[in-house]
Amino acid sequence: MHWLTIQDAFLDDFAPLQPARIDWQDTTPVARDFDDPYFSRDDGPAETTHVFLHGNQLPERFAALPPRARFVIAETGFGTGLNFLCAATLFLQQAPADAVLHFVSAEKHPLTHADLARAHAGWPAFAPLCAELARHYPALTPGFHRLWLGNRRIALTLLFGDAAVRFGQLQARVDAWFLDGFAPARNPGMWTDDLFRQFARLSAPGASFATFTAAGFVRRGLAAQGFDVARVPGFGRKREMLTGHFLGGWQPAHSTPGHALVIGAGLAGATSARALAERGWQVTVCDPAGIAQHASGNLAGVVYTTPSAHATPQNRFYQSSYLHALHWLARHDFPSQPDDGALTGVLQLPPDARHRDKQQAALDSGLWPADVLRPAGSGWPDASLLMPAGGYLRPQRWCEHLLRHPHITVLPEAVETLTATQTGWQVGTGHRTHDADIVIIANAADATRLAGLHWLPLKRIRGQVSYYRATEASQRWSQAICHSGYLTPALDGLHCVGATFDLHQLEATPRDGDDARNLAELAANLPAYHADLGGADAALAGHRVGFRCQSTDFLPLAGPVPDACANPSTPQPGLYLSIAHGSRGITGTPLCAELIAALANDEPVPVDQEMLAALAPARFILRQRKKQPEWMP
């Protein structure tokens, strides 16, 4: 499917999720709304093995995969995750060590963390994978959730919401289908012509399917979409089930990583480089200033987001990218020591009535589960929020951690020229010329200096942060606090207090007046903290000026660079942007890096197609030419 294809499924409103309501009958979970067990009461793993693993010939197919293969399974109904656990375990045992399994599963009513753990307790054979899944199982928010498990050999993408809608928003090439909704008679919404059409759209040539049901309308519906369908013996007391293949001959896909060059060694560049290096790419990162020396170079940054009650693409990106950033931090075990920062929660105080109403609406919307967002509690202004999983960290340490990989080389060079060739890109730095298969531009507003990118709609916003020396009282602070500015606990004995926001002043020299403004904001919003810091006598130890890069619609530009002079709907092969992250670089860059790496490797895309289009750099050219669809933000 084209990277800017519009789907009717975008009309889905990403409504709050209703978690699964389960009745436990001994060790078997039964869906109360469908009066159907999640797996066989006799032997759940054996049923999965017979129906889905052998029904799709997975033992033989996994064992025959070539090096660096990529295999994609898609499933209707994640449920307890039993099918995923069985398939992932088989893959880790049978597939080549450098092969990757993508498992994409839709679930309208996901299990709570507690119910998932209770179900997994009955399968000790899967204990290590269950523990990893439990650690990374996402918050129950609608949309796409990409998790890397099994030492990065398993990519689990959970699509929380209606299956037909979510698969309508998916870009992928599926090799095998697990059709595992509850019984058609009890859950007919999981067995519709709309869903069958999505199976056909997403299937690779020769893709297989298997399902426990042998219902006639399921057989006829799949056959109408081009699937060859056969009845075969079912499991246990079920006499028959269905298996089959999509039209065409199946061939396994495999990745061919080459050389990537990343321009910029800040948060956007470091995350992009790491996402590619972990996929086997050799990555060269060019930045004349070194690692995290520009907008990513403040002493501390806050891991947070701005919650909203409205599930627009922009607000969904803020939520999804925050959750994805937390997954990256957990997967990389960062921060791992006190000087890196800490994920001890973030308080967000409303600085005025408008923000108070917005924050209260987010709390009341149902879109933000309590493990993601909750009231701050007594002692704080009305509608103050706590993000319990957020925190603060040292951006430079995070970038250094990400770039510390055997496939990544960082060079102190400035990119001056960028020229397309027949096989990729030629990058000139003044010191030498680099040949690259793909290029990721991640140098914020400096991207406009490269040939052909003058059209980028970017703003540079000056910000000055003040560093104040910790006192005996302030050393006890453990949480970052956002208000009209922000405050962090001490790193190296210094608190970050800031930051100014100036669209019209581009002077890089720190100004005493800005330090005074930062301290005055602290006094107005957090008078007790201002007093703990020393009040008007707080000891200023330094300051730093940085320039945030922001787009005119407040979303990053992440994805392929369009051909601005010809057809803006056509991307320039192998050229990508990850810029304009504003003041949310820590939060937004991991998901953008995952998106770019997925596109470069022809993997299932980790965001829905509406969000993909909302992040696409081409959106601005399409708007200028008045070709944008109405749904684009």
Which tens digits make up the pLDDT trace of 370-411?
Answer: 999 999 999 999 999 999 999 999 999 999 999 999 999 999
Cα–Cα distance for residue pair 134/120, rounded to 1 Å: 9
Say if residue 630's pLDDT is above 50: no
- Of all residues in the chain, the percent with pLDDT exceeding 70 is 96
Q: Is residue 484 within 8 Å of 351, Cβ to Cβ?
A: yes
Q: What is residue 408's predicted lDDT score, i.e. its pLDDT?
A: 98
Distances from the Cα of 266 to the Cα of 271, 285, 286, 320, 398, angstroms: 8, 10, 10, 21, 10
Of 67-71, 118-122, 140-144, 565-569, the one with minimum mean pLDDT is 565-569
**pLDDT tens per residue, range 93-139:** 999 999 999 999 999 999 999 999 999 999 999 999 999 999 999 99
Kindly report whether the peptide bond that precedes residue 350 is cis, defined as omega within 30 degrees of 0.
Answer: no
The two three-digit tokens of residue 76, written as one number:
């209707």
Q: What is residue 626's predicted lDDT score, i.e. its pLDDT?
A: 62
Indicate the pairing of strand 36-37 with strand 100-107: unpaired
Please classify residue 314 by burial: count the beta carbons closer than 10 Å to its beta carbon, then call 0-12 exposed, 13-18 middle and 19+ buried.
middle
Spatial CB neighbours of 573, under 8 Å, sequence gap ≥ 6: 420
Say if residue 49's pLDDT is above 70: yes
Of 84, 90, 73, the closest CA to residue 134 belongs to: 84
Say if residue 346's pLDDT is above 80: yes
Tokens 């010809």 map to which residue? 566
Tokens 């919650």 map to which residue? 307
Residue 41: which pLDDT band, with cuts at 50, 70 and 90? confident
Q: What is residue 631's predicted lDDT score, i.e. its pLDDT?
A: 32
Question: What is the average per-residue pLDDT within 146-170?
Answer: 97
**pLDDT tens per residue, range 194-208:** 999 999 999 999 999
More confident residue, 630 or 593: 593
Tokens 């060859």 map to which residue? 228
Distances from the Cα of 481 to the Cα of 302, 375, 496, angstroms: 9, 14, 11
Helix (H) or strand (E) holding 245: strand 240-246
Cα–Cα distance for residue pair 556/510, rounded to 1 Å: 27
28-31 sheet: strands from edge to edge: 22-25, 28-31, 36-37
Question: What is the average per-residue pLDDT within 276-301?
Answer: 95
Residue 218: which pLDDT band, with cuts at 50, 70 and 90? very high
Spatial CB neighbours of 152, under 8 Å, sequence gap ≥ 6: 100, 278
Of 461, 457, 623, 632, the closest CA to residue 551 belongs to: 457
Q: What fold, for 42-249? A: Rossmann fold (3.40.50)
Cα–Cα distance for residue pair 322/442, rounded to 1 Å: 19
Cα–Cα distance for residue pair 346/478, rounded to 1 Å: 9
Please classify residue 304 by burial: count the beta carbons closer than 10 Å to its beta carbon, then call 0-12 exposed, 13-18 middle and 19+ buried.
buried
CA 266 remoteness from chain centre = 19
Q: What is residue 237's predicted lDDT score, i.e. its pLDDT?
A: 83
Helix (H) or strand (E) holding 292: none
Q: What share of the chain is helix, strand, coil (3-state, %, to 5)?
A: 30, 25, 40
Q: Is residue 51 within 8 Å of 212, Cβ to Cβ?
A: yes
Q: What is residue 628's predicted lDDT score, i.e. its pLDDT?
A: 45
Say if residue 613's pLDDT is above 60: yes
Mean pLDDT of the chain: 93
Cα–Cα distance for residue pair 149/145, rounded to 1 Å: 13
The two three-digit tokens of residue 22, written as one number:
């389960």
Question: What is the average per-residue pLDDT within 566-574?
Answer: 80
**pLDDT tens per residue, range 444-477:** 999 999 978 988 999 999 999 999 999 999 999 9
Question: What is the average per-residue pLDDT within 591-611?
Answer: 97
Q: What is residue 565's predicted lDDT score, i.e. its pLDDT?
A: 67
Say if residue 7's pLDDT is above 80: no
Q: What is residue 35's predicted lDDT score, i.e. its pLDDT?
A: 86
Residue 8: which pLDDT band, with cuts at 50, 70 and 90? very low
Region label for 241, one of left (φ > 0), alpha (ψ between -120 and 50) or beta (otherwise) = beta
Map out the domains of the chain as residue ranges. 42-249, 300-394+458-551
Tokens 């600085």 map to which residue? 351
Say if residue 269's pLDDT is above 90: yes
Q: What is residue 627's predicted lDDT score, i.e. its pLDDT?
A: 52
More confident residue, 9 or 203: 203
CATH class given for the domain over 300-394+458-551: alpha beta
More confident residue, 582 or 8: 582
Say if residue 4's pLDDT is above 60: no
Q: What is residue 581's predicted lDDT score, i.e. its pLDDT?
A: 97
Q: Is residue 97 within 8 Å of 283, Cβ to Cβ?
A: no
Q: What is residue 95's predicted lDDT score, i.e. its pLDDT?
A: 98
Tokens 């199976």 map to which residue? 199
